[in-house]
Each structure stands twice: as structure tokens, then as C-alpha cells.
């Protein structure tokens, strides 16, 4: 029994020694056998890590005692070549500099050299992949551009609006050239100029007197990014372009509607525009400066509000300071500005040509409606009368369907009974005291002689003022050209009305819509 115990003890000891030997072999020595016996390899580098730095990578690693190691080899590979450097045998870090925007493969190896520097042994090792910080890094791409929008004013001056001054922006300057002067000029802003997150406290600047835009305009920025510490960086200059105007979304919607445009607004689309109407809520009016030949700007002329609602349903303007500055520049360059009602400004600028003018409904002639038929889908249910025929009367009555637990599209069809010439529509919102919302837009179609339904206007959807009792006059095109048709189809969708209980006592959202009148303007 004692002999059996000793036998198993010996076996376990041998196994333990084998495991230990294998472990050491795999992790440290990497022994192999040659014709002259075992060959000893160098101990590998452990825990290799890399941290991105500015156009560089900092490598760190751990070492184990290895008398055969005479130096350390650091290698890095990009898409074109492999570079390397040999450093001290006891080094545990190295900064690889002069890198580009690429995810490099880095390797660090223990080496043994001859007296003349020839590498005769090299350890194995696991590479790491690191991309350094460069001008192409996200942190730099997302760095403040400083200039939010830029405008060529009468081919003489540069008007710019600024982004808010971020904490990592130290200073900046705008470089430009004056005509007949080969020296670049600069409009500069230093840390001392920062007031309320803008240079000199203003979100805009008017620059130059006779700017030569053909030589380009650039923004030069100096700043810091957290990932590289306190290093002061000269950012790559930004070229400012003027050929493709950039519009605020709200402003663009109105321009497309007024000028019968689709898609991106090009410079050629607005070059000949002399009169422009802006009527609805805007973030900014600075885009007026995109129009090189503008002579008249009318603000709110087409918002024909019901009496007593002028303050309730006024059009709003978010960026009043920069808008007023841009309009002042426009005025100085020959644009007459007419302001209607109480729209946009808390205090109307004194340089406007007309202030708080009254928007007046134009003199219109409507088609006779008495013989027309009108229907709607979905239909009124349970003997409910929505007042559908009220749409064809030019008075204070209105159409009001039943509320619904789901959103509906109401399709209203008007049959003239014969072909008529039309030039547009007068659409009035319902003047009701309830919380039912007025539609912001409608889709209007007409049936032509072939039986096909087509959009009556250039834009598929027609914008409406949303004031209670507000009137909107819509023409088929900007030149008020008439068209002939026998049927009109009007599409309008429900909006949220209120929360309430359904027949099963579930507390749910209800939807509805209302409309005052839909009068057809007689064409030529």
C-alpha cells in the first residue's frame, strides 16, 4: 500500500514539473531543439499598450529579467512602409513621433545584437493598433468653425455670423484681401475680446470696405483639445465659400413657396429677385443678405389675422440681434423694409421704411358656389353634421368633424359641375374658442380634362397661417397664371386635440381639425 502511495506521489510530482516546464517554456523561454541541443529565445515584451498623442503615439510595456536581451526594437507600420528604432535594453516606454492620420500597427521586441549592431535574435510579441490625433481626428473636425454663416455684401463687404465662443477656442482671425492691395488683411479676436461668448459681445461682424472676394476668405483658429493637454494648436484654416447660399430651414421653406422652387436653392434662383415676402416663424432673417438685387422686403404682409388676435398669433423671430444687424446692412445697400402687424420684433427697428403696417386682404373675385357639390371622406357618422358646406361660404361659419382616437386624413372633394378658370384660393381658418388646432398646411389637387388629379400649385403642400380666423391667399403660381378644371380635392390631416376617456374608460389622446372656408378665386 505504501509503495502504491509513493508511486502516485512520484507521478503527480512529475506532472507538476511538466506543467511548470511547459508554462515557463510558453511564456518565458520559448525553447526549441536544434542539432546542437536546445536553443534559448529571448523573453517577450509584456503588456504592450499605446496611447494616442498629437501626431504621435506613446508606447509603454513591462519587462522581465533576461540577460540575453541587449536592446529593444520598436516598429510601426502604416499603409506604405515600416519604420523602426532601437532603444536601451531596459526601456519601458517610447514616444513615436511624426505620424499621420492612420491606424498604425506597433510592435515592441527584445533583441540580441552583435558588437557591430547586427540583430541575431528577436523575441515574439503581440502588436497593438493605435491612431494618433491629427487634424483629421474627430476632435479636430468637430472643433469650432467660428463662423456660422458668411455673406458677400454688394461685392464690397463681408458679413459674418459667429458660433458661440467655446472654451477650447483661444483666438481666431478672418483673413481677406482688399481690392488693389496684395497684403492679406485680418479681422482678429483675442481672449480679451470675448464678451458673453461672442467677440466684442456681438454674434456678427461687418468686415472690410472693398473686399476682393476672388482671392478667398479664410478663418484661422488657435485652440486646445483635452486629449493633448495644454498644447496650443494652430488649426487648419477654413475657406469660406459664397457660391452656394446656405439658408435656415424655415427661411428656405418660405423662399421655395414664394418663388416656386424645389430642392436646393441655388444662387441663380435668387439673383433676379427684387421683392421678397417672409410671413411665418423664423430663427433668423440674416438670409436676406443672400439676395444681391433685392429692393423690397415685406415682413408679415400675407398674415391676414382676425381682429383682436394680432398679439396672440404674431410670427416669432428667435435671433433678433443678428437679424436686426443684417437688415440694417440690407437697408444701407438699398433694400426698403416694410413691417406688418406685430410680427417678429419686440421693438421694431427705426430704420424700417414702414412699421406696424396693416396686412390687408387683396380685392378678389370668387366663383359662384351655389350649384357645387361637396363631399368628404371619412363621412359624418350617427347623424352628426360637421358643417361641410360651410367651407363654400365666405363668412364666420366653419367645418368641424367629430373627434377621433386616431389620426385621419380628410379628403374633401368639390365638384364645380363644369370646367372653370381658376387662379387661386382664399383659405380661412375656423375662428372658434375651443382647443382644436388649425392646420399648418393643406394639399390641394385639381382634376384636369383627362381625369387625372394633379397638384394645383408648384409646391405639393400649401402653407397656412394658424391663427384663429386667419386668412391665407394662395395663387396657383407666382405669376398668378390661371388654370382650368372641373373638380378640386383638398386633403387635411387631424392634429392633437385633447386627452379624454373613450367608451371603455381608457384615458387616451383625441384628434381633430377645423377649417373656416375654402373659396376659389376666379381666373382670367
Where a domain ends, among 327, 357, 387?
A: 357
Same domain, 194 and 231: yes
For residues 88-96, give the mean pLDDT.
Answer: 97
CATH of the domain at 234: 2.60.40
Of residues 197 and 29, more confidence is placed in 197
pLDDT value of residue 34: 43
CATH of the domain at 62: 2.60.40.10
Task: Say if residue 449's pLDDT is above 90.
Answer: no
Same domain, 65 and 144: no
Give the model confidence (pLDDT) of 225-253 as tens digits.
Answer: 887 878 889 999 999 999 999 999 999 99
Helical spans, DSSP H, in 243-365:
249-259, 267-270, 320-332
For residues 81-110, give the mean pLDDT.
Answer: 96
Task: Say if residue 328's pLDDT is above 50.
Answer: yes
pLDDT value of residue 38: 57
For residues 428-433, give the mean pLDDT.
Answer: 93
Q: Band of the pLDDT at 193, cuts 50, 70, 90? A: very high
Task: Say if residue 324's pLDDT is above 80.
Answer: yes
Q: What element of type H or E holds 19?
A: helix 2-24
Same domain, 186 and 300: no
pLDDT value of residue 18: 42
Residue 34 in any domain: the answer is no
Q: Band of the pLDDT at 8, cuts 50, 70, 90? A: very low
Same domain, 279 and 420: no
Under 8 Å between Cβ of 134 and 55: yes
Same domain, 231 and 321: no
Domain residue limits at 390? 373-522
Same domain, 406 and 483: yes
Beta strands in 238-310 (DSSP E): 238-240, 275-278, 296-299
For residues 280-306, give the mean pLDDT.
Answer: 97
Q: Band of the pLDDT at 503, cuts 50, 70, 90? A: confident
For residues 345-364, give the mean pLDDT.
Answer: 94
pLDDT value of residue 23: 41
Residues in the chain: 524
pTM of this prediction? 0.79
The whole-chain average pLDDT of the chain stands at 90
Counted domains in the chain: 4
Same domain, 384 and 510: yes
Residue 11 in any domain: the answer is no
Residue 295 in any domain: the answer is yes
Where a domain ends, among 94, 114, 130?
A: 130
Same domain, 212 and 81: no
pLDDT value of residue 381: 86
Same domain, 321 and 462: no
Residue 26 in any domain: the answer is no
Same domain, 500 and 418: yes
Residue 30 in any domain: the answer is no
Same domain, 515 and 379: yes
Q: Band of the pLDDT at 39, cuts 50, 70, 90? A: low
User: How many C-beta atoms surround the C-beta of residue 485 within 10 A?
Assistant: 20
Same domain, 398 and 511: yes
High-pLDDT (> 90) share of the chain, %: 79
Residue 91 in any domain: the answer is yes
Q: Band of the pLDDT at 4, cuts 50, 70, 90? A: very low
User: How many whole angstroms separate alpha carbon 367 and alpha carbon 417?
Assistant: 12
Task: Say if residue 27's pLDDT is above 80.
Answer: no
Residue 499 in any domain: the answer is yes
Lowest average pLDDT, out of 4-18, 147-161, 224-238, 446-460, goes to 4-18
Instruction: Characterize 201-239 residue by residue with b for buried, 16 or more Cβ atoms within 10 angstroms of its Cβ, and e for exposed.
Output: eebbbbbbeebbbeeebbbbbebbbeebeeeebebeebe
pLDDT value of residue 173: 98
User: How many whole angstroms separate alpha carbon 414 and alpha carbon 431?
Assistant: 22
Q: Band of the pLDDT at 142, cuts 50, 70, 90? A: confident
Task: Say if residue 20's pLDDT is above 80.
Answer: no
Q: Band of the pLDDT at 30, cuts 50, 70, 90? A: very low
CATH of the domain at 388: 2.60.120.260
pLDDT value of residue 26: 43
The one-character DSSP state at 476 is S
Where a domain ends, among 240, 272, 287?
A: 240
Strand partners, 46: 62
Task: Say if residue 31's pLDDT is above 90.
Answer: no
Residue 284 in any domain: the answer is yes
Instruction: Characterize 251-290 residue by residue with b for buried, 16 or more Cβ atoms within 10 angstroms of its Cβ, and e for exposed.
Output: bbebbbbbeebeeebeeebbeebeebbbbbebebbbbbbb
Amino acid at each position: 500500500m505504501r509503495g502504491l502511495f509513493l508511486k502516485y506521489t512520484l507521478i503527480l510530482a512529475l506532472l507538476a514539473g511538466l506543467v511548470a516546464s511547459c508554462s515557463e517554456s510558453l511564456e518565458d523561454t520559448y525553447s526549441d531543439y536544434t542539432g546542437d541541443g536546445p536553443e534559448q529565445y529571448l523573453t517577450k515584451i509584456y503588456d504592450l499598450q499605446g496611447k494616442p498623442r498629437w501626431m504621435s503615439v506613446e508606447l509603454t510595456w513591462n519587462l522581465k529579467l533576461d540577460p540575453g536581451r541587449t536592446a529593444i526594437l520598436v516598429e510601426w507600420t502604416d499603409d506604405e512602409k515600416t519604420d523602426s528604432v532601437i532603444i536601451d535594453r531596459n526601456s519601458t516606454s517610447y514616444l513615436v513621433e511624426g505620424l499621420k492620420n492612420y491606424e498604425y500597427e506597433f510592435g515592441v521586441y527584445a533583441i540580441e545584437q552583435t558588437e557591430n549592431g547586427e540583430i541575431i535574435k528577436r523575441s515574439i510579441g503581440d502588436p497593438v493598433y493605435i491612431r494618433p490625433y491629427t487634424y483629421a481626428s474627430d476632435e479636430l473636425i468637430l472643433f469650432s468653425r467660428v463662423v456660422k454663416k458668411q455673406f458677400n455684401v454688394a461685392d464690397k463687404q463681408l458679413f459674418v455670423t459667429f458660433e458661440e465662443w467655446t472654451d477650447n477656442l483661444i483666438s481666431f482671425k478672418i483673413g481677406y484681401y482688399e481690392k488693389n492691395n496684395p497684403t492679406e488683411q485680418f479681422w482678429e479676436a483675442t481672449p480679451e475680446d470675448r464678451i458673453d461668448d461672442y467677440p466684442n459681445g456681438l454674434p456678427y461682424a461687418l468686415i472690410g470696405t472693398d473686399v476682393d472676394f476672388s482671392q478667398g476668405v479664410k478663418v484661422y483658429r488657435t485652440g486646445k483639445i483635452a486629449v493633448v493637454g495644454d498644447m496650443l494648436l494652430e488649426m487648419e484654416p477654413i475657406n469660406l465659400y459664397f457660391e452656394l447660399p446656405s439658408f435656415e430651414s424655415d427661411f428656405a421653406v418660405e423662399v421655395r413657396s414664394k418663388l416656386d422652387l424645389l430642392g436646393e436653392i441655388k444662387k441663380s434662383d435668387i439673383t433676379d429677385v427684387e421683392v421678397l415676402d417672409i410671413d411665418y416663424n423664423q430663427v433668423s432673417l440674416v438670409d436676406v443678405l443672400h439676395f444681391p438685387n433685392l429692393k423690397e422686403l415685406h415682413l408679415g404682409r400675407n398674415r391676414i389675422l382676425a381682429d383682436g388676435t394680432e398679439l396672440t398669433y404674431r410670427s416669432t423671430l428667435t435671433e433678433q440681434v443678428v437679424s436686426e444687424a443684417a437688415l440694417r446692412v440690407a437697408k444701407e445697400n438699398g433694400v426698403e423694409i416694410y413691417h406688418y402687424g406685430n410680427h417678429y420684433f419686440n421693438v421694431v427697428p427705426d430704420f424700417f421704411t414702414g412699421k406696424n403696417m396693416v396686412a390687408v386682404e387683396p380685392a378678389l373675385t370668387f366663383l359662384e358656389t351655389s350649384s357645387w357639390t361637396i363631399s368628404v371622406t371619412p363621412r359624418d357618422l350617427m347623424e352628426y353634421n360637421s358643417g361641410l358646406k360651410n367651407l363654400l361660404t365666405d363668412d364666420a361659419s366653419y367645418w368641424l368633424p367629430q373627434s377621433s382616437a386616431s389620426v385621419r386624413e380628410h379628403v374633401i372633394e368639390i365638384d364645380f359641375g363644369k370646367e372653370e378658370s381658376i387662379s387661386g384660393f382664399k383659405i380661412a381658418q375656423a375662428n372658434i374658442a375651443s382647443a382644436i388646432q388649425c392646420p399648418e398646411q393643406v394639399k390641394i389637387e385639381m382634376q384636369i380634362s383627362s381625369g387625372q388629379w394633379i397638384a394645383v400649385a408648384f409646391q405639393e403642400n400649401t402653407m397656412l397661417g394658424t391663427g384663429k380666423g386667419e386668412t391665407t391667399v394662395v395663387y396657383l403660381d407666382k405669376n398668378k397664371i390661371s388654370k382650368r378644371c372641373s373638380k378640386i380635392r383638398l386633403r387635411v390631416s387631424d392634429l392633437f386635440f385633447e386627452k379624454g376617456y373613450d367608451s371603455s374608460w381608457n384615458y387616451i389622446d383625441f384628434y381633430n381639425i377645423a377649417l373656416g372656408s375654402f373659396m376659389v378665386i376666379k381666373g382670367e
